[in-house]
Amino acid sequence: MADVVSPNKRRLAAAAYMSGKSSASENGGLFLTLRQRKRKHRRKELEMASKKKVSLDTETVAK
């Protein structure tokens, strides 16, 4: 039974290792990087929103 499981596990481990070399954990690196990418995108969106708010505030103050 272990022989049936190992090739798939090995493939997953290889994919995780290749994608997540820069990330701290080598196992599950793929999942980690995907999560980080989502988080970064969300952070950028929030920053953009806050910048827009600030610019709107400054416009109203200028008037």
Q: What is the pLDDT of residues 15-24, one digit of tens each?
A: 766 655 544 4
Residue 34, pLDDT score = 66
Residue 23, pLDDT score = 47
- Say whether 54 sits in a helix, a strand or coil: helix
Residue 12 sits at the vertex; the CA angle it makes with 33 and 17, to the nearest 5 degrees, is 50
For 4-62, the pLDDT digits (tens) are 556 677 777 777 666 555 444 544 555 556 667 777 778 888 888 777 776 666 666 55
Residue 63 has pLDDT above 60, yes or no: no
* Interatomic CA distance for residues 7 and 56, integer angstroms: 57
Phi, psi for residue 23 in degrees, rounded to 5 = -75, 160
- What sign results for the dihedral spanned by CA atoms 25, 28, 34, 35? negative
Residue 40, pLDDT score = 76
